[in-house]
Amino acid sequence: MTEHELKTLLSTVTPPDETARAAAHAHWAALAKPLGGLGLLETMVEDAAALTGTETPALTRRAVLVLCADNGVVAQGVSQTDASVTRAVLQNLAARRTSVCRMAAAAHCTVVPVDMGIAGAPVPGAVNCRIAPGTADFTLGPAMTRTQVVQAIAHGIELVRAQKRAPAGIQMLATGEMGIGNTTTSSAVASVLLNQPVQAMTGRGAGLSDAGLRRKLAAIERGIAVNHPDAADPLGVLAALGGFDIAGLCGVFLGGALENLPIVMDGFISGVAALCAVRLCPAAGKAVFASHASSEPAARLVLDALDKKPLITADLHLGEGTGAVASLPLWDMALAVYNGCYSFAEGGITPYTPQC
């Protein structure tokens, strides 16, 4: 896929179906309960109705895509572990032994580990979307070429399409990632796209010391100074400072918009990917659904930029898609009420009406 072909494809993204949204809102209002009593659980179902074009969205068949990649900036000491841990976690994802795997089993969600580009041989059991064996160190020049960014985005779009047309017919996707150093790449990309100071966008990731945090901040500042990314060019920002995982997740959100499939954000890193998607195609925001507010410092800023409200505030910052998967039972409960609660008419109760 070329940049021109990507731009042409994204021009086909349609707006949400407001008729379906209004029908879903009316359905909630007819149920025998206080109007809007389930808060965000109601509006998210309405948003899903608008996205899918049906008053009664079916979202029981779901998977979590966990995109894994190595990041060259790790060479600058921005993490407490080296890049070999990315591979170790991907192997355990493939063996269904990680945190998100256990949570997904409880939430009736399939785990799909994806190799977007890690060092070493392919990992058996991981979907092979390898661009290269990790990105370059962005303190020395661009992390990727623009061609590689477009390739990663194309892989993300195709992952959505493959899940939708698979025998299981996936109806909803959660997003996850694993890549040592990817809070550094995410903070760098977010700092440029949101025009915020690096310090405001950067946290300790997986538990950096004070010295490690100083190295992380310095690496991001150096990467921005070396590459001169332009916030008006999201592909260029990704190429300069991003990772294969972020670019691939950007494609997942764009694929959700193209296929009218709900895509659930995890935390800060997938939020930055969603931000890239919306900057490339504003209409893609219809497919983005928030799950939680990560404890990473910039997570709330990204959610605000996307105009998305989290369902969960629990200081989560594990990654792998754990926050996105944690929100899935809330979808189940919301839809259980939406599809099964008795109405005012069925209960012989005078319907509530808005008083303000």
CATH no. for residue 31? 1.10.1610.10
> Is the residue at 296 inside a domain?
yes
Residue 156 and residue 292 in one domain: yes
pLDDT tens sequence across 295-348: 888 999 999 999 999 999 999 999 999 999 999 999 999 999 999 999 999 999
pLDDT of residue 147: 98
Question: Which parts of the chain sit beneath pLDDT 50?
Answer: none
- Report the candidate in 356, 355, 281, 337 with the shortest Cα–Cα distance to residue 30: 337
pLDDT of residue 355: 72
User: How many angstroms separate the CA atoms of 273 and 255, rounded?
Assistant: 12
User: How many angstroms separate the CA atoms of 119 and 130, rounded?
Assistant: 10
> Is the residue at 320 inside a domain?
yes
For the chain, the domain total comes to 2
> Is the residue at 207 inside a domain?
yes
In this prediction the pTM is 0.97
Residue 182 and residue 78 in one domain: yes
In single-letter form, the type of residue at position 168 comes to A
User: How many angstroms separate the CA atoms of 107 and 290, rounded?
Assistant: 17
User: How many angstroms separate the CA atoms of 60 and 31, rounded?
Assistant: 22
Residue 168 and residue 230 in one domain: yes
Choice among 55, 177, 296, 320 that is catalytic? 320
Residue 94 and residue 137 in one domain: yes
pLDDT of residue 305: 97
- 41 CB contacts (<8 Å, ≥6 apart)? 311, 330, 333, 334, 337
Residue 86 and residue 52 in one domain: no
> Is the residue at 355 inside a domain?
no
CATH no. for residue 317? 3.40.50.10210
Q: Is 320 a catalytic residue?
A: yes
pLDDT of residue 356: 65
What's the maximum distance between 2 C-alpha atoms anywhere in the chain?
A: 71
- Cβ neighbours around 81 below 10 Å, total: 13
Residue 214 and residue 323 in one domain: yes
Range of the domain at 50: 3-56+337-347
pLDDT of residue 206: 73
Evaluated on CA atoms 141, 142, 148, 152, the torsion sign reads positive
User: How many angstroms separate the CA atoms of 38 and 190, rounded?
Assistant: 32
